[in-house]
A and B are shown apart, each in its own frame.
Chain A
């Protein structure tokens, strides 16, 4: 089945220790998104790629970076995680043909000690 796969599902890191979360998709979608969701809050858009074009949200901290080496893969790098970065990180994709459906991965839950 075509899907969006995130790894790892659970990540524990220490304060300040860099972390990379990965997302892969078999949907061949043009657009890939990273959202941050804290407990009982809305998913917050961090950035998205349309093909190789990177679109950063104005309020996304510089501590968060992303890479998309090819259509199928996208990475979220957190350079120096703080306690406030503990959250679920959701990857999603869309076909980029107009506002419609986002397909989400199961998420990566980040704990910062």
Chain B
């Protein structure tokens, strides 16, 4: 089986930096992905880590430590539009993406 744990809610102010952690247990690990989902919308891809280390894409960065079964998503220079749910997800094999329960981020002025 598999399990993913991430905080249920995070609150931050505009311009701040927030880190959303994710720990996982799974067999056949092929990588960790992060998706953003606004209320009523579809999940959209943010990042993918197959190897240990940091991946940076604009204001968003994602980190993976396979030995610790741990990753995080770092959001910098927060904007109001970043208020959304953020899901970590593990690839179990090449073609199965399993989602965590999601972290609801609220950004305040």
Q: Which residues of A contact B (CB under 8 A)?
A: 31, 33, 35, 40-45, 48, 50, 55, 90, 94, 96, 98-107
Structural contact, A42 and B42, CB atoms closer than 8 A: no
How many chain B residues touch the partner (CB < 8 A)?
A: 24
Structural contact, A99 and B99, CB atoms closer than 8 A: no
Structural contact, B101 and A90, CB atoms closer than 8 A: no
Instruction: Tell me the bound Cα distance from A39 to B77 in angstroms.
Output: 29
Majority SS of interface residues in chain B?
A: strand
Chain A residues near B99 (CB-CB < 8 A): 35, 42-45
Chain A residues near B101 (CB-CB < 8 A): 41-42
Structural contact, A50 and B42, CB atoms closer than 8 A: no
Chain B residues near A98 (CB-CB < 8 A): 30, 94
* Extra inter-chain contacts (19) besides given A99-B30, A99-B50, CB under 8 Å: A31-B95, A41-B101, A42-B87, A43-B43, A43-B99, A45-B96, A48-B95, A50-B95, A55-B96, A90-B42, A94-B95, A99-B33, A99-B48, A99-B91, A99-B93, A101-B45, A103-B45, A105-B42, A107-B42
Instruction: Tell me the bound Cα distance from A55 to B96 in angstroms.
Output: 10
Nearest B residue to A96, CB-CB: B95
Structural contact, B94 and A102, CB atoms closer than 8 A: no
Q: Does B44 contact A (CB under 8 A)?
A: yes
Within the complex, which residue of B31, B44, B94, B96 is in contact with A104, where a contact is CB–CB below 8 Å?
A: B44
Q: Does B97 contact A (CB under 8 A)?
A: yes
Nearest B residue to A105, CB-CB: B42
Chain B residues near A103 (CB-CB < 8 A): 45
A33, A35, A43 — most chain B CB neighbours (10 Å): A43
Chain A residues near B96 (CB-CB < 8 A): 45, 48, 55
* Nearest chain A CB to B29 CB, angstrom units: 9
* Nearest chain B CB to A4 CB, angstrom units: 8
Chain B residues near A90 (CB-CB < 8 A): 42-43
